[in-house]
Amino acid sequence: MKPPAHRPQAAVVISLLAVVMAFLVPGSASAAANLVTNAGFESGTLSGWSCPAGGVTTSAPHSGSYALEATPSGSDIARCSQSIAVQPNTAYTLSAWVKGSNVYLGVDGGPSTWTTSSGWSQLTVPFTSTGSSVTVYLHSWYGLPAYQADDVVLDGPGGTQDTTPPSTPGGLAVGSPTSSSLKLTWSAASDASGIDHYDVVRGTGAAQGVGNVTSWTATGLSASTTYSFKVRACDPSGNCSPYGAAVSGTTSDGGTNPPVGSLPAHVLTGYWQNFNNGATVQKISDVPAAYDLIAVAFADADASKPGGITFNLDSAGLGGYTVAQFKADIAAKQAAGKKVILSVGGQNGTISVADPTAASNFASSALSVLREYGFDGIDIDLENGVNAQYMGQALRSLQSQFGSGLVITMAPQTIDMQSTSFEYFKLALAIKDILTIVNVQYYNSGSMNGCDGQVYSQGSVDFITAQACIMLQGGLRPDQVGLGLPASSQAAGSGYVSPTVVNNALDCLTKGTGCGNYKPSTPWPSLRGAMTWSTNWDASNGNQFATQVGSHVHSLP
């Protein structure tokens, strides 16, 4: 018998050597790419980062000699960000090691995640790029202690850095004066890579980003006062045009809010469940008359059209409720002066509107569903987040086709409305002129900072009032703000309060009475009202929300 040949052994050695070299040779297929500049802060500075409230620290970094340390304040979340060139429509993974309370890692206009950890903990955010640049960010929360971050990685192929600024927007006009607001409109700027946002400057103040819109309303102004404004355009790579010429406008001496249409000045909103989850099963006709606005939960995603929606009545789960009965009940509610709208989203909602095609699909499909069933409007309750730019485009397109009577409401989670830099808040401000009500879900939240910089626990008057005033101080009109609470302890994981607490919060915000430790410096008598999840859970709880909160809402000044 011949001895075994030695060539296979040599091949094995060569193969192993190739594997080892793949890990050792820079730029090899196995080596991770990192597109972040100064990713480990080893320059000893924040070079490459925009981080007004941050610095570097040498105290126990995750690796190397330095780490980022940023300190929030009562009015700032200590955001640190970096714009990075990428390839469009490409998968990337963002990660960072963080330490501290409520530390967030995310991508502007895309996903994010967060953690609270006393030691180093790694956060990871996979996403797909939509343009040639992304902005990655880290931040904590109002009034919390300093947080640390280190070894930030954006793994994926690099793009070509865009250094060309957009054109300067023209045609700036200031009009529609009220005693406290002025509406600005301008012509869109041109830019091959797209516009990320516009900056507006009032007088000699700081620039305020207002999203990718061509109209915006300046609020919180004084009556009979002249203000000047100028606007510039910025693209996703951080390039900004020069400011256009300043234009002035003067507020009136006694303006009022826009008309509220056929909805009452103070509104009780209730979500109606198109499914059976143990709460009382209802038909639309079973919803108590105290509810002025009924939100049908929920629309379904159209798998054939990104961003598209459909609606399918759960006849079997609702005891044989037919589509014909459903439509007739909607019409009967409308004849009684109520509004019935379709809610998009919910805990399990998977609808995403993050590009022009999805925005177009959303608008056209929503219009079709609203007309088919006779709905009065749309509610945005996407708990997986929104893209302010493209959802704003979709809602404006829908409103232009449906007509000025379209009811548009939103039901963001508490955390989504903590800052005007967050996508839900940006969306609300971007469509403020056509937005009806924002009913924030003041439950399943845990503790949060209020508008006074103090931390409040959910389930109290202070929590509700100090959260609501964030929206009021952030630019929404009082008639666009509602308080969302669960109808029973079974309706939410946490945050249920009795109707008495809801009514006290309404009184505190509208009259300055019934407050806890926090009392607003001024009441907002035109606050719109309250919302509950859901009319079905309310029925299971003896309709206490409809009876007690409903009557209180309708008695407000």
Query: Could you report the per-residue pLDDT of 341-363, keeping only the tens digit for each?
Result: 999 987 666 788 989 899 999 99
pLDDT at 33 over 80: no
CB 173 within 8 A of CB 185: yes
The Cα 402–Cα 367 span in angstroms is 7
What are the residues facing 341 on neighbouring strands? 295, 377
Question: How much is the pLDDT for 193?
Answer: 55
| Terminal Cα distance for the chain, rounded | 105
Give me the sign of the Cα torsion angle 243, 247, 253, 256: negative
Question: How much is the pLDDT for 348?
Answer: 63
Summarize pLDDT for 45-72 with one digit per residue, the tens.
998 898 888 999 999 999 999 999 999 8
Q: Cis ω on the peptide bond leading into residue 298 (within 30° of 0)?
A: yes
Range list of β-strands (E), 142-292: 147-155, 173-175, 182-185, 197-202, 208-209, 215-218, 226-234, 247-250, 267-273
Among candidate residues 42, 69, 383, 423, the one labeled active-site is: 383
Position of tokens 């009021």?
472
Q: Tell me whether residue 327 is exposed, middle or buried, using C-beta atoms within 10 angstroms of its C-beta: 0 to 12, 13 to 18, 19 or more.
A: middle
Q: What is the mean pLDDT of residues 96-118?
A: 92
CA 309 to chain centre: 19
Question: How much is the pLDDT for 75?
Answer: 66
Close Cβ partners of 346 (under 8 Å, ≥ 6 residues apart): 297, 298, 381, 383
Question: How much is the pLDDT for 109?
Answer: 81
* CATH code of the region 173-250: 2.60.40.10
Alpha carbon distances (Å) from 550 to 272, 291, 487, 488, 506: 16, 7, 12, 15, 11
pLDDT at 13 over 50: no
* Residue 383 bears catalytic tag: yes
Residue 253's pLDDT band, with cuts at 50, 70 and 90, is: low
Dihedral angle, C-alpha 103, 106, 109, 111, nearest 10 °: -100
Delimit the domains of the chain by residue range: 54-155, 173-250, 267-554
The Cα 541–Cα 552 span in angstroms is 18
More confident site: 387 or 238: 387
The Cα 53–Cα 56 span in angstroms is 11
Looking at every residue in the chain, the average pLDDT score rounds to 87
Q: What is the mean pLDDT of residues 399-414?
A: 92
* CATH code of the region 267-554: 3.20.20.80
Summarize pLDDT for 492-512 with one digit per residue, the tens.
999 999 999 999 999 999 999
pLDDT at 528 over 90: yes
CB 454 within 8 A of CB 501: no
Summarize pLDDT for 286-340 with one digit per residue, the tens.
999 999 999 999 999 998 999 999 999 999 999 999 999 999 999 999 999 999 9
Question: How much is the pLDDT for 349?
Answer: 64
The Cα 519–Cα 165 span in angstroms is 46
- CATH superfamily of the domain spanning 54-155: Galactose-binding domain-like (2.60.120.260)
pLDDT at 386 over 60: yes
Question: How much is the pLDDT for 44?
Answer: 92
Q: What is the mean pLDDT of residues 381-408?
A: 89
Q: Which helix (H) or strand (E) holds 345?
A: strand 339-346
The Cα 49–Cα 237 span in angstroms is 13
pLDDT at 22 over 60: no
Q: What is the mean pLDDT of residues 281-285?
A: 97
Summarize pLDDT for 170-190 with one digit per residue, the tens.
888 887 777 778 888 888 888
Q: Is the pTM of this model over 0.85?
A: no
The Cα 223–Cα 216 span in angstroms is 19
